[in-house]
Structure 1
Amino acid sequence: MFRLVVFVASLAVATTTAAHFPWLYVADDSEPRLFFGEGLDHREYHLPDAVAGAEVWQEAIDAPALRLEMEPLEEEGFLGLAASQQIEPRGFLRTTIDYGNYHGSRLIYDAQHFPAENPEAWPEPVLAPEGLSATLRVEGDQLVVVILHSGAKPLTGAKVTLSNAEGGPGLSAATDDNGSTRFSRAAMIDGLNGLMVMHVDKRATGEISGKGYASTTRILTATFNYRSREAAKVSALQPLPQAVASFGAAVSEGQLYVYGGHIGQAHDHSRENLSGYFGRISLDGGGWESLPAGPPLQGLPLVAHEGQLYRVGGLDARNASGEEEDLHSVDQFARFDPGTGRWTDLQPLPGPRSSHNAAVLNGILYVVGGWALAGDSDGEWQAGAIAYDLCSTDAAWITLPEPPFKRRALAVSHVDGQLAVLCGMTEEAQLSKQVFFYNPASRSWSEGPDFPGSAFGGFGLSAWNLDGKLYAGGMEGVLYRLAEDRSEWEKVDEFQTKRFFHQLVPDGRGGLFAVAGASPTAGHTGSIERLDLVFAAPTARR
């Protein structure tokens, strides 16, 4: 077992209690836990009173900090605190424990945990005016750790030790003038890893219960999950500026554009939870660039054609957070010119529409599905599909032959010169696995092979035609490709983070990016992961 006694050498003591530290993690059932041990593999030591009363909080989840209800738990292999409530594996957990006057030094523990297995989903912690905190990120084949103290001051010259839940020797490295240090990714295990660092402030003196102390010692433990396979899929692109779902995204001339979407907690629809962000990032990397935005909207597609971006419809929320929902679909149709940085309003849709989808095929914009919400109405489902010629200077919306379905939260793309419409929710609030094709030449609809997996996997999924092949994936966490004869679907890859109401877009290197969305376990995310299709071995699924 790896024991971190070296960290308490400055305390000039070597007792059993001083060699134990609080560690946070999330069990397999998504329930947060805290124990007091020598290392991550030592979870059966009794809790001192100060630790037993720890307040554990979840933060950085696009919502107010949440205090978790921790209760004592004793079972085989574990003695500590556990929360009965499951958490979303995003944001981070933290606690601060004031142990008290310990052999002449005030001992304070800071503990953090990053539940997400996707390094790009690790947020920057909310920094406290006092104490230690760690920020983590993966760059290439290295784990980058930044240690801050007293708010946002770099902790320089500090020894940071990396350990893991399997025990064994730890690996130490010192922080530089920026509070930063690096570890090889090969030093981490697939599973729970931990960092520890100590800081002694000899100027922080005082008295507790009439007994003086000559310094203050803070010890930070920061734990995080890691999966080498998932980390290998991490995109070179920065995450979106905020976690978002149900937004528009498109790639044009080497840039990824995103527009609007839903932020905050799921099912909370309000003005505050509509994103007003419109921005882009180069597919070659770099940072996000904010662009002139139109109205904040969600449930809308964004498409690209000949260097121009088009947003189509969407949902507006007129109520404040906590008020009765007042949601309205819009009929807006507008074009953005990256050259001028301006939006131009185009002919409105024939009627308001949101939760629909769209694709461009041979210069024609096709819009399918959705519904029209208006205040307290139940929503009018849109049966008709419409089209608009983006190459014509005097184009007008035309109505296509009526589809044999009504859907929202569906995917729309194309394959073999035909429009492809996938899955979604029916007017009866049932989830569908059906796939349909529209042939512009014959102006007719036909049915294709059902989408694989459970019907839930087709709700809020995304689809993209890459190099003539149709790919789609969603909540199930599997990327499928339609077979060349369109008779079945082939499994080609897996998402590192299961997500829906996301967007699939080309990465410019023969693969796809899965952009943001909502995860059934992680909540809203701004992460972008790369799905590399070059070496994918297809497996048929019906």
Structure 2
Amino acid sequence: MTPPPLAARTVLRTASLAVAMALLAPAAALAHFPFLTVETDGDAPTLRLTFGEGPEEDEPRYLPILQKGTVVRHTPDGAREALELTATGGALTADVSADPPGTVYTLSLPYGVMNREGEAFFLDYVAAAMKEAAPEDAGRPAALNTQSLAVVPEPGNKLKVIAAGVPVAGAEVNAYGDLGGEDYVADANGVVTLTAEEIEDAGRLIVRANVALPGVGEFDGQKYSEIRRYATAVFTPEDFQAAPAKEPAPEPAAAGEDKISVEAVPGADLPVGVTSLGAAVADGYLYYYGGHPGTPHKYSTDEQSGAFRRLKLDDPAAGWEELPGGPKLQGLALVPHPGGGVVRIGGFTARNSLEEEHDLHSMPTVAHYDPATGAWKDLPELPGGRSSFDAVTMNGRIYVLGGWMMAGDEGAAWHGTGLVADLTADPDSEDWGWKTLPTPPQPRRANSVAAVPEAGEEGRIYFIGGMLPEGEPTRRVDIYDVATRTWTRGPDLNGDVMDGFGSAAYAVDGAVYATTLTGLVQRLTPGADAWEDLGELEFPRFFHRLLPAPGENGEPTLLLLGGGSMEQGRFTAVERLGVGE
């Protein structure tokens, strides 16, 4: 079987956000990098920025390079501000004695466009350092989850490479200390495990990682076709903790022979591959809106979509019909309207150009596309901006779960509440608009949602997987009972920890189906205490959509739309997923 068609020049090579990057081999030992450290040897803690083979160097000739960078202070209360550093010898320094413990400092240093062997690439450096954490603090500082690339220590003598808070699988990392250095390859969770001796003998452990991102752009009048980003960090043995005791992971459901069939839908290829799109099936059509067709982890007005299209399910060969679009959005939801058409909910938009720093804002807007009029009509807005969530309709109501609210320089706030709106209510009545659900057990984003209706107006809503505020993916599943307005814990998704990130789900005939990052297709039937593994996709997707399709012989049939793969990139093919018994 040949791979489905891919969007032109959008191959993703990492394990995340709709997003996968491949790590280049670590740079040679004599290469120069920027290093950000907090030094405590003097009278006061001093933030120090240098450029060289290691953080101890301070050659004045490199000051013009360092002065191109921006250093931002992130205090534990969520505040952030740019710092002014002063040249001291060959280093840039700042007195940080007044900053509270746990303050994080980050560097963004766009070096410029380089030309090597006929290839032009944009060279970008990032670095991070932290002032000693308060004893009561635990876990990774939230500021590091917003960085385009970072290396962080984990309990159990581990290092983790993350991009926008998401682990980078297969990362190649170079770490060296007083007795020399080693190259490592991270596991599927972005983790490198060091020995206790390596940590103790390192003195100061200097770590580098680099990624290559496809993407055409221009910087200072020079064009490039690739971004190469390098991250550095410096640790001491005190930065590493013993691994916490863990309960043994539950055994996954017994695997049987594959019960799935997958085929591309002829004539249904997307015009361009997108991740984090909104999609729904309504009125015999497959609709989709927006998404991210651009460079992974890079968001701008140039690299988001506001396109709106539909495909007639009984005649897919007729191709996609262009419909009235709207604001450029990704991380949104699209659900059927009980009166016909679809409802567009939330998402985030970038207010920056490709060359500018990210200025990302989650939107509260909700609108109904009515095919009878061919136009959008505004509905009551969400109580606050929301993106990276999921939504579903059941019995005339929309349920919204998960997500966060990004507000540019003010940072992001995670949503701990779920919402419901009755689309059948009288617009002039008090029942119109958004109501708050009983609080879900655990905030998260990059989750999926499915609904299982029952007789009358009852049913259950499944809140599946996602990313926790601490920056870790989760396979957790929680179930909301509409009749009793209560939450119960459901069986975790099968697979490894990353299978909870960017999944897609839909319920058919009372069973919930989910497809995950590693390609697992699994089903949770009523009353079951574990998910059933049905098989694996040859071409896995994440940040995609799973939707119902006309079936044959009464068997459940679903559509896979959009999304990306760590190996294959963004998919343009729409695939039909059949499930047998």
TM-score interval w.r.t. the shorter chain? 0.5 to 0.7
- Rounded to whole Å, the distance in 1 between the matches of 2:266 and 2:211 is 31
The residue number in structure 2 matching 1:325 is 358
Mark the CA change 1:532 to 1:237 in structure 2 (over 3 Å): closer, same or farther. Answer: farther
- Rounded to whole Å, the distance in 1 between the matches of 2:503 and 2:471 is 16
The residue number in structure 2 matching 1:425 is 467
Name the amino acid aligned to 1:448. G
Q: Per the alignment, in what secondary structure is the counterpart of residue 498 of structure 2? A: helix
Tell me the CA shift for residue 88 of structure 1. 9.4
The residue number in structure 1 matching 2:559 is 513
- Rounded to whole Å, the distance in 1 between the matches of 2:297 and 2:502 is 14
The residue number in structure 1 matching 2:341 is 308
Name the amino acid aligned to 1:294. G
The residue number in structure 2 matching 1:393 is 426
* Residue number among 523, 528, 539 corresponding to 2:574 in the alignment: 528
* Residue number among 248, 272, 275 corresponding to 2:305 in the alignment: 275
1:259 aligned to 2:292?
A: no
Mark the CA change 1:312 to 1:232 in structure 2 (over 3 Å): closer, same or farther. Answer: closer
Tell me the CA shift for residue 251 of structure 1. 0.4
The alignment's TM-score, normalised by the length of structure 2, stands at 0.52
- Rounded to whole Å, the distance in 2 between the matches of 1:391 and 1:412 is 21
- Rounded to whole Å, the distance in 2 between the matches of 1:505 and 1:56 is 41
Q: Per the alignment, in what secondary structure is the counterpart of residue 245 of structure 1? A: coil
Q: Per the alignment, in what secondary structure is the counterpart of residue 376 of structure 1? A: helix
Name the amino acid aligned to 2:300. S
Tell me the CA shift for residue 86 of structure 1. 10
Mark the CA change 1:518 to 1:484 in structure 2 (over 3 Å): closer, same or farther. Answer: same
Name the amino acid aligned to 1:247. L
Q: Per the alignment, in what secondary structure is the counterpart of residue 302 of structure 2? A: helix
Q: Is the 8 A contact 1:406 1:427 kept in 2?
A: yes
1:365 aligned to 2:402?
A: no
- Rounded to whole Å, the distance in 2 between the matches of 1:315 and 1:411 is 17
* Residue number among 306, 323, 329 corresponding to 1:297 in the alignment: 329
Runs (4+) of structure 1 exceeding 3 A deviation are: 54-58, 85-90, 229-232
1:467 aligned to 2:504?
A: no
Q: Is the 8 A contact 1:239 1:527 kept in 2?
A: yes
Gaps of 5+ in 2: 1-21, 24-116, 122-209, 216-258, 454-458
The residue number in structure 2 matching 1:500 is 542
Deviations 1:486-512 (A, max 9, x none): 311111232232110000011212411
Q: Per the alignment, in what secondary structure is the counterpart of residue 499 of structure 2? A: helix
Mark the CA change 1:305 to 1:486 in structure 2 (over 3 Å): closer, same or farther. Answer: farther
Tell me the CA shift for residue 232 of structure 1. 6.1
Deviations 1:443-495 (A, max 9, x none): 11110001100111111101001122110012110110003313111112322
- Rounded to whole Å, the distance in 2 between the matches of 1:377 and 1:442 is 38
- Rounded to whole Å, the distance in 2 between the matches of 1:378 and 1:519 is 28
The alignment's TM-score, normalised by the length of structure 1, stands at 0.56
- Rounded to whole Å, the distance in 1 between the matches of 2:468 and 2:535 is 28
Q: Per the alignment, in what secondary structure is the counterpart of residue 480 of structure 2? A: strand
Mark the CA change 1:484 to 1:443 in structure 2 (over 3 Å): closer, same or farther. Answer: closer
Identity of aligned residues (%): 41
Q: Per the alignment, in what secondary structure is the counterpart of residue 272 of structure 1? A: helix
Tell me the CA shift for residue 525 of structure 1. 2.0
Q: Is the 8 A contact 2:262 2:578 kept in 1?
A: no
- Rounded to whole Å, the distance in 1 between the matches of 2:260 and 2:443 is 36
Q: Per the alignment, in what secondary structure is the counterpart of residue 329 of structure 2? A: coil
Q: Per the alignment, in what secondary structure is the counterpart of residue 266 of structure 1? A: coil
Mark the CA change 1:345 to 1:294 in structure 2 (over 3 Å): closer, same or farther. Answer: same
Tell me the CA shift for residue 329 of structure 1. 0.4
Q: Per the alignment, in what secondary structure is the counterpart of residue 263 of structure 2? A: coil
Gaps of 5+ in 1: 1-29, 32-53, 59-84, 91-228, 537-542
- Rounded to whole Å, the distance in 2 between the matches of 1:407 and 1:56 is 40
- Rounded to whole Å, the distance in 2 between the matches of 1:231 and 1:310 is 31
Deviations 1:149-202 (A, max 9, x none): xxxxxxxxxxxxxxxxxxxxxxxxxxxxxxxxxxxxxxxxxxxxxxxxxxxxxx
Q: Is the 8 A contact 2:347 2:387 kept in 1?
A: yes
- Rounded to whole Å, the distance in 2 between the matches of 1:489 and 1:230 is 15
Name the amino acid aligned to 2:325. A
Mark the CA change 1:89 to 1:452 in structure 2 (over 3 Å): closer, same or farther. Answer: farther
- Rounded to whole Å, the distance in 1 between the matches of 2:577 and 2:273 is 20
Deviations 1:378-425 (A, max 9, x none): 300000101000111221211111111101000011236101000000
- Rounded to whole Å, the distance in 2 between the matches of 1:57 and 1:234 is 36
Mark the CA change 1:386 to 1:283 in structure 2 (over 3 Å): closer, same or farther. Answer: same
Tell me the CA shift for residue 323 of structure 1. 1.1
* Residue number among 279, 282, 285 corresponding to 1:249 in the alignment: 279
The residue number in structure 2 matching 1:480 is 522
Q: Is the 8 A contact 1:88 1:523 kept in 2?
A: no
The residue number in structure 2 matching 1:415 is 452
Tell me the CA shift for residue 235 of structure 1. 2.0
- Rounded to whole Å, the distance in 2 between the matches of 1:451 and 1:340 is 41
Q: Is the 8 A contact 1:233 1:496 kept in 2?
A: no
Deviations 1:69-94 (A, max 9, x none): xxxxxxxxxxxxxxxx999999xxxx
- CA root-mean-square deviation: 2.9
The residue number in structure 2 matching 1:446 is 488
Deviations 1:298-325 (A, max 9, x none): 0001000332200111101000012100
Q: Is the 8 A contact 2:402 2:444 kept in 1?
A: yes
- Rounded to whole Å, the distance in 2 between the matches of 1:56 and 1:273 is 22
1:338 aligned to 2:371?
A: yes
- Rounded to whole Å, the distance in 2 between the matches of 1:529 and 1:289 is 18
Q: Is the 8 A contact 1:265 1:524 kept in 2?
A: no
Larger RCO, structures 1/2 (Cα 8 Å, 6+ apart): 2
Q: Is the 8 A contact 1:259 1:302 kept in 2?
A: yes
Query: Between Structure 1 and Structure 2, whose CA radius of gyration is higher?
Result: 1
